[in-house]
Homo-oligomer: A and B are copies of this chain.
């Protein structure tokens, strides 16, 4: 910076002012400084800047360390939004889905000196890390946590999972189904809980039976297992439709039904959640609930940057139904 100042014939402080868009700099001076910067290929040292200003223009993202569609998409969206705002993004992934691992990851981010943290890890234990850390920086949690205690300092942003489940279930009910099983996501995940509640609410409203098949994970193998368990019920006419907690599970279910010779949607309808890139190309193409992850990412960043002033009401984003070929009216008995 001293070199730039010398070349431009000004003091280093004037260079600093130009760089920080300070108003009281004459246009001519500014141009000289800019030209000097260009000639020297000067780049401001961010460490020094961070030291002097005591903020880093960096936000931390805590995410789960697996190839899950939703969190991954959200992280990308947050990164894009942050970059547009001139922020840097430091990502830390979780080794395991427990409180200890979450606390460790959170500390790692805080050590980095981030100005704020977005947690994209929608399982319940991650909340414990918040309590443990007692942070002095703003935190946004992307998770459908509907009951947040007053004491919780975090802001919440999420897609309305419960409503998504209600939409999915409503779609099946509207087609004439009443025997709708739910292959629910693993315990301990907000999304799984909310989707289960939304489905159950809707079923009770319709006075329809509640048939739940819990899956052990979010992934296709668990869906496949659940599908196999459902085959007999479908053949017996006890289940005419399945609401899977996500599209991976739905893929496994479709596979299990196909192996058993159960036809979708003739014998049974299947609906998923997420809308994966390949959901439209499954056999049959999968009706599902789409989540606007880009909006989530954008909302999360906005909430983080303006959050200190704003109210703590959760920002809730609506999902949409995507109707494809895996759902149809039940066959008449």
Could you tell me if A283 and B280 are in contact, using CB atoms closer than 8 angstroms? Answer: no
Cβ of A178 under 8 Å from chain B? no
Could you tell me if A277 and B220 are in contact, using CB atoms closer than 8 angstroms? Answer: yes
Copies in the complex: 2
Number of interface residues of A (CB under 8 A): 52
Stretch at the interface among A28-36, A85-93, A165-173: A85-93
Query: Closest approach, in angstroms, between the C-beta of A83 and any C-beta of chain B?
Result: 7
A65-94 contact mask (Cβ, 8 Å, vs B): 1 or 0 = 111010011001001100100001111110
| B89, B93, B255: the one within 8 Å of A90 (CB) | B89
Q: Residues of B contacting A255 with CB < 8 Å?
A: 281-283, 285
A73 to B67, CA, bound (A): 7
Q: Which residue of B lies closest to A223 (CB)?
A: B281
Cβ of A327 under 8 Å from chain B? no
Query: Closest approach, in angstroms, between the C-beta of A232 and any C-beta of chain B?
Result: 20
9 closest A-B pairs by beta carbon, nearest first, are A47-B50, A255-B281, A47-B51, A220-B281, A251-B278, A46-B113, A283-B283, A220-B278, A91-B91
**Residues of chain A whose beta carbon lies under 8 Å from any beta carbon of chain B:** 43-48, 50-51, 54, 56, 58, 65-67, 69, 72-73, 76, 79-80, 83, 88-93, 95, 108, 110-113, 219-221, 223-224, 248, 251-252, 254-255, 258, 276-278, 280-283, 285
Besides A45-B51, A90-B90, 11 other A-B contacts (C-beta < 8 A): A45-B113, A47-B54, A48-B51, A51-B51, A67-B73, A79-B93, A80-B93, A83-B93, A88-B108, A89-B92, A223-B281
